[in-house]
Structure 1
């Protein structure tokens, strides 16, 4: 099996099959990153495709200072952040779509057969509370928290991905966790006692 470095070298020479293998190896991780950042499967799929397209076009600029997958994470993360900034400027219209669009609302109400109606409702409510909490964070805090807690990246990987010192990443994550807890306590969704557990 060819290494990532070898596949990148071949792809830079125009070998499309080598690039296809790189896509195959990274596709699910990149899609999951985009989905966690945008919270929309269609947007995630679009940004996954766009990230790979940008990677193919920009292979000549890839210096190999980080791994290809880390570089790809950076491309995807930047695409999603640009998108979220644009959405924010649209005065939060995307947050009201499910209220105004009946078809969208019906899709959101499809039950999860693995849970009782009560469990499903509670699960959805908790997920929405967490999403709202994440939206309340600053961009820099939300970004590191998503990469750490949802995507499972190490501090070192996040530091490399974002071009930060590892200590900066750790302090931002600590502040982000604190801010998220504070938000959940202030909104009355968690008690301060429960929030003191790690």
Structure 2
């Protein structure tokens, strides 16, 4: 799926300092930049901070855009460079591995737990949170290839340009990332594998006790087009090789937070 670009005329106007054009340019990419940051970094505070910094960087580098690629490709390349180059983001990476994650998932499972208040909402939040956290087990290079290829569904030409890789190198990274995620979900995710120890329902009591999910707070699943049961049914209808893909696609798309938009508007205000 390609990302809709703003017109060359709007970009030229933005480069000439037209404020409305600048806002249109940033608006065209802000949601995608935020979703990229959320899927790669997972933590919403880190993602919000990174998104604001990336959008400001796009703004300050706008004059260097020469139209040699699609604007969205150029903007996402700036985002990837920031994510890879920001030491504070590297320092906050939890160092999660599939082995550590699997052990955590299988700790404290309850075979037949009683339903909790807001059971359906909590299960959906747990589903989405776990699906997102799973990608932290991939090394950053594989994670980026996976997010662009299987989450954003970009074609290999655009994804390899964004990552500044040869197409063959990108394909190898995406293939390896897919293999690792599929192998993990098949063995450990009750929504994908038939004989796994973990299921969201069995896992929910431990997740509540650890504060991984909290009643009345659904930051990852709010606005999802799918309920927990919808996602389970949808994943169950596809063949084995597509179950993991469907699981990742069932994470909701998020709009860029309003406070980031407010701060960018402040930065764009006359007199700054």
TM-based fold match above 0.5: yes
How far apart are the structure 2 equivalents of 1:91 and 1:33? 19
* Higher normalized contact order (CA 8 Å, seq sep 6+, divided by chain length): 2
Alpha-carbon contact 2:42-2:133 (below 8 Å) kept: no
Structure 2 residue corresponding to 1:26, chosen from 15, 26, 29: 29
Is 1:197 the equivalent of 2:241?
Answer: yes
Structure 1 counterpart of 2:135: 134
How far apart are the structure 2 equivalents of 1:5 and 1:68? 9
Give SS of 1:197's match: helix
Structure 1: state its 5+ residue gaps. Answer: 93-112
Superposed CA offset, 1:106-145 (max 9, x none): xxxxxxx9xx61x444444444443443222111111111
TM-score norm. by structure 2 comes to: 0.54
Superposed CA offset, 1:48-96 (max 9, x none): 22222111211232232212211111222233333531213x878xxxx
Is 1:67 the equivalent of 2:111?
Answer: no
Is 1:84 the equivalent of 2:89?
Answer: yes
Q: For residue 161 of structure 1, report the CA deviation from its aligned partner.
A: 0.7
Single out whichever of 138-147 and 15-24 deviates more from structure 2: 15-24
Give SS of 2:134's match: helix
Q: For residue 24 of structure 1, report the CA deviation from its aligned partner.
A: 1.9
Structure 2 counterpart of 1:171: 172
Q: For residue 153 of structure 1, report the CA deviation from its aligned partner.
A: 1.9
Q: 1:40 to 1:132 in 2, by over 3 A?
A: closer
TM-score norm. by structure 1 comes to: 0.71
Alpha-carbon contact 1:4-1:68 (below 8 Å) kept: no
Q: 1:192 to 1:163 in 2, by over 3 A?
A: farther
Which has a greater percent of helix?
1
Alpha-carbon contact 2:33-2:76 (below 8 Å) kept: yes
RMSD of aligned residue pairs (Cα, Å):
3.1
How far apart are the structure 2 equivalents of 1:14 and 1:131? 38
Q: For residue 14 of structure 1, report the CA deviation from its aligned partner.
A: 2.1
**1:15-54, aligned counterparts within 5 Å?**
15-54=18-57
Structure 2: state its 5+ residue gaps. Answer: 97-116, 197-235, 243-272
Single out whichever of 57-66 and 155-164 deviates more from structure 2: 57-66
Single out whichever of 12-21 and 43-52 deviates more from structure 2: 43-52
How far apart are the structure 1 equivalents of 2:160 and 2:144? 12
Q: For residue 42 of structure 1, report the CA deviation from its aligned partner.
A: 3.3
